[in-house]
Structure 1
Amino acid sequence: MTATETNPAVPAWFAEALDTRPTHGTLVVDDAEIAYRVWDRREGDGDPRGIVLVHGGAAHAGWWDHIGPQLARTHRVVAFDLSGHGDSEWREGYTYDRWADELVAVAAAVGIVDDLVVVGHSMGGIVAMRAAVRHPEVVTDVVIVDSELFDAADIARMMEHGAPTDTMIPREPRRYATRDEALARYRLLPEQETLPYIRDHVAAGSVTRDEKGWRWKFDRSFPTLLTDPTPVPPPTCTLAIVRAEHGVMDPSRAQALHDSRSDGTATLVTLAGAGHHVMLDRPLELLAELRDVLGDRQE
């Protein structure tokens, strides 16, 4: 039974996307098992570029389940769980460099070793840019979607006022007696209006059960070591900046990042009416922008 048959409010395009099942896999990167999912290209030879989709903080690869299949008409598309998130293993500490290495390792595991397009939402956009800096021979195009941008002065101010530590954010997850109880407590950060059928899907993929009960699928300590300024991709990498009108990306900083690429390798668009979690409230508008960046013309 399809999603539209169980819930008539679900539009056909979304149900069809979820019915396009990815292939799931895992690989070990620096002693942590990383989970990923792949949608293979469905139409002819298509575009040789592969795409990796990177979720934001406290999220998981399933946030892209309705986006990946759409892009997979003409591209091989991969989404993965950053370590400390989703079905990937936790680490003792997290850095953007290590997440960037996970990204490139996942791409290589599915046969994408160059000409890689990376699309990152929120914190995932920072991971995408870091991957372009660390692996310029692999990453040729980056799209950041409403990523909060920090410079060295921002980091210094945060450290001065006390950066998050594992004593402030206990690592032990909060647990619930039932799955329904956990899902009833699901919240976005920042909170915003979303399309309920998409929110329900990502929420369902956000909980798991262990021997102590139901818990969220992320390590609450992951922000404690993330104190690096925003990296800037090298000139060899194109940069597309997608800002949500009501999101967290400061418009002046987005413009400054765009203007810093005087060679014309950067683009900047604002999605009207969108909140920070763009794929949950403006998914078709986001898809249109991604297709434009990719040079695709899909109906």
Structure 2
Amino acid sequence: MTAARHQESLNTLSVGTTGPRIAFLHGLFGQGRNWMQIAKAVSGPDGTDARCLLVDLPDHGRSPWSREFSLDAYADAVAGALSGAAPGEPWTVVGHSLGGKVAMVLALRHPDLVERLVVVDIAPKGYGSLERFEGYIREMQELPLADLTSRADAEDRFDEPDPGVKAFLLQNLRRDGHSWRWQVNLDLVAGDAALGSGSRIADWPDAVDDLPPFPGPVLWIAGGDSRYIQRQDAERMRRHFPRTRLFTIKGAGHWVHTDAPEIVVTALRRVLHAHA
């Protein structure tokens, strides 16, 4: 199995050498590496089953920051990364949460790039605000970066009781010389959260409602214990993606690929097998 970095404007990491191409988009506060376990399994033990591209979205990971949030701009940036990685080749695109929204907008704005779509635990709608993330944002803002002596020190000082959430958020902490910084654009996210119900990150862009429906097949994966997808979302989903099939994984929460990785891998392999 090989892993190689690309030099497009967005930071990406590739896994696998041959086979159909599949791109992975992470959620808010995440990075492409969050999909590494899934990508290694999908690409196979010798890396020849699929060619996976793990993408750091704008304002996340090692990708450039933007001045204001825009789902359209995020989708266009991903389109540039996919076109640069494999000019003229179609992709299966997998997106979770925020990455799922970006994947949907990408498919609607750039249908020539996307052959198949997998949307994980998110719907094409506005979610009101970033209220669910406000506590995490506050914890990150209150961490005294200038006083940190080590990553262990950061872990001790970081006020988050859930060890999984703590590890997920602290993956954004990076040493910069003798100091520490957040690699996620925390000021942008915090500013957006302060907009309340006007949050752009939580919203869905009305402009895409005027675009033609995406003609390709879509696997819509929901966590059985998550509330991000509701029954009434199906009508809106099929308006944009008429070839949608909903797959609910019992016992999984919002981070479906973390809670049930084997099931997600099996589902993705079936998607790629249909591609073949």
TM (normalized to structure 1)?
0.71
Among residues 173, 176, 181, which one is paired with 1:207 in the alignment? 173
2:67 and 2:188 in contact (8 A); partners too = no
* Greater share of helix: 2
SS at match of 2:62: coil
Say whether 1:276 aligns with 2:251: no
Say whether 1:292 aligns with 2:270: yes
Distance change in 2, residues 1:186/1:72 (3 Å): farther
The separation in 1 between residues aligned to 2:163 and 2:151, in whole angstroms, is: 23
SS at match of 1:131: helix
The separation in 1 between residues aligned to 2:217 and 2:39, in whole angstroms, is: 21
The separation in 2 between residues aligned to 1:206 and 1:234, in whole angstroms, is: 36
One-letter amino acid of the counterpart of residue 63, structure 1: N
Distance change in 2, residues 1:110/1:40 (3 Å): farther
Say whether 1:36 aligns with 2:12: yes
Among residues 19, 25, 30, which one is paired with 2:6 in the alignment? 25
Deviation, 1:124, is: 0.3
SS at match of 2:11: strand
SS at match of 1:59: coil
Superposed counterparts of 1:1-299, under 5 Å: 20-28=1-9, 34-42=10-18, 46=19, 49-73=20-44, 74-151=49-126, 175=145, 176-184=148-156, 185=158, 205-211=171-177, 213-223=179-189, 224=192, 225-226=200-201, 228-229=203-204, 234-257=213-236, 259-260=238-239, 265-295=243-273
One-letter amino acid of the counterpart of residue 16, structure 2: D
Deviation, 1:183, is: 3.9
Distance change in 2, residues 1:217/1:114 (3 Å): same
The aligned length equals: 250
Deviation, 1:69, is: 1.7
Moved more, 265-274 or 109-118: 109-118
Distance change in 2, residues 1:253/1:142 (3 Å): farther
The separation in 2 between residues aligned to 1:173 and 1:97, in whole angstroms, is: 32
Distance change in 2, residues 1:227/1:251 (3 Å): closer
The separation in 1 between residues aligned to 2:114 and 2:258, in whole angstroms, is: 26
One-letter amino acid of the counterpart of residue 286, structure 1: V
* Greater share of strand: 1
Q: Structure 1: 5+ residue runs without aligned partners?
A: 1-19, 29-33
Distance change in 2, residues 1:242/1:262 (3 Å): closer
The separation in 2 between residues aligned to 1:92 and 1:262, in whole angstroms, is: 31
Distance change in 2, residues 1:242/1:85 (3 Å): same
Distance change in 2, residues 1:111/1:70 (3 Å): same
The separation in 2 between residues aligned to 1:237 and 1:274, in whole angstroms, is: 26
1:119 and 1:125 in contact (8 A); partners too = yes
Deviation, 1:68, is: 1.1
The separation in 1 between residues aligned to 2:221 and 2:35, in whole angstroms, is: 16
Deviation, 1:94, is: 2.1
Distance change in 2, residues 1:170/1:187 (3 Å): closer
SS at match of 1:252: coil
In the alignment, what sits opposite 1:5? none
CA deviation vs aligned residue, 1:181-230 (integer Å, no higher than 9, x gap): 33453869xx6979xxxx96x66743211256334321113442436426
One-letter amino acid of the counterpart of residue 229, structure 2: D
1:132 and 1:234 in contact (8 A); partners too = no
SS at match of 1:67: helix
1:172 and 1:220 in contact (8 A); partners too = no
Distance change in 2, residues 1:281/1:215 (3 Å): farther
One-letter amino acid of the counterpart of residue 11, structure 2: A
Distance change in 2, residues 1:222/1:132 (3 Å): farther
Distance change in 2, residues 1:54/1:251 (3 Å): same
The separation in 1 between residues aligned to 2:67 and 2:231, in whole angstroms, is: 36
Deviation, 1:247, is: 2.1
